[in-house]
Amino acid sequence: MTRLPSKPDTSSRYREAEQFLAALDPDWQALVAHVGPCIHQPRPERDPYEALIRSVVYQQLHTRAAERILQRLIDIYPHGHCPTPEEVLATPYDTLRACGLSGAKANSILGLAQARLDGIIPDQATALQMPDEELIKQLTTLRGIGRWTVEMMMMYTLEHEDILPADDFGVREGYRNLKQLDKAPSARVLREIGQAWAPYRSVASWYLWRMPKQAPVLAPSSNELHRAPRSQDKTVRQQTPSSRLYFAIAQCSLGALLVAESERGICAISLGDDAKVLLEQLQEQFKAAELIEADPQFNQRVALVVAMVEKPTLGLDLPLDIQGTPFQQRVWEFLRHIPAGQTLSYTEIAERLGMPKGARAVARACATNTLAIAIPCHRVVRQSGDLAGYRWGLERKKTLLERERAQKAQR
């Protein structure tokens, strides 16, 4: 597997990859046009050891179940983040099992901790210097760690840009749908096919994960691609299919905080001065839903939201139920990848989404966001850099940005 030379502008690299893939054949051209600009977002702040710990917890589990187990594991330690190898090895086996880990996973995590101390799991700087196949060979000797796990770590933690996780079901199914095949290719065959996608195989994988079951039509003309989708923006927001919403109202440094959750994830995060008003707004947003006050388990997730408000650089590692028009969702997904402490203008976002005249459409999408901070519309400013358009108040927007920049400077 080759590795692209380091370049400072991620969006520029992704545009190169999009153009390269779209030029392969009409199928790829249609897929790139259908999905839109690549907004793949690695998590380089995570060390390979932490990434592997997380991967073991998540194996063969629904996301929400894995998140609960991971949080219980983290809560064992007073600092509230991934435990060091020494801490893991000092933790009784029964305590690890009590978090919800199976015996096999508990043993794998203990093995990972020892492997880090033994130097088998390198730190990030060392891993970046290792050839891809050498790193894969070294880490797959560890209990519970297969090739797919290492490739995911390389894509998301080490930011390698030419990785094709051919064992991944979603990638193989994506290719099957792309080419309208009766059967998905084997991992070996897909690796051979994927040679033609180098040196952009990570971006190719990102697009295949988003391949619809129904093959998209051929890409529209350049004029259509650059036209802001006004008709989509008028689409009525769909209501959650769940008849019940769990909610809780807490206090944070920015005032009252309301969090609501459907069966699919967190569907509303609101800030304000009056808790009663926030609850009325929630009922207005989800008219058909029965609102149920939170149980203790949900309150734990609310605590994670409060922690994100106080320290936005932490992010929010909980499933979100994001509802909106296709265009709104494209904008909101893009916002989630603006790093904490940084801002972009409405115009810059429109340009990166392939709509140079779509700044107003982007601003409308930001204004309809109902997941405060989790979808960080506070990181969007005017072209001049001035603050504008925050539904939870400009003072809160200013506070959040100042807080993020201060926390980033302390790292």
Catalytic site residues? 168
**Pairing assessment for the beta strands 344-345 and 265-272 based on DSSP bridges:** unpaired
49 sits in which H/E element: helix 48-58
- Name every residue whose Cβ is closer than 8 Å to that of residue 234 and which is 6 or more positions away in sequence: none
Q: Are the C-beta atoms of 297 and 388 separated by less than 8 Å? A: no
Strand arrangement, sheet containing 255-262? 265-272, 255-262, 244-252, 290-293
Helix (H, G, I), strand (E, B) or coil at 320: strand
Q: Could you give the maximum distance between any two Cα atoms of the chain, in Å?
A: 63
CA atoms within 13 A on the CB side of 186: 2
The DSSP bridge partners found for residue 266 are 261, 320
- Name every residue whose Cβ is closer than 8 Å to that of residue 402 and which is 6 or more positions away in sequence: none
Q: Are the C-beta atoms of 177 and 212 separated by less than 8 Å? A: yes
Q: Are the C-beta atoms of 396 and 254 separated by less than 8 Å? A: yes
Sort residue 364 into left (φ over 0), alpha (ψ -120 to 50) or beta.
alpha
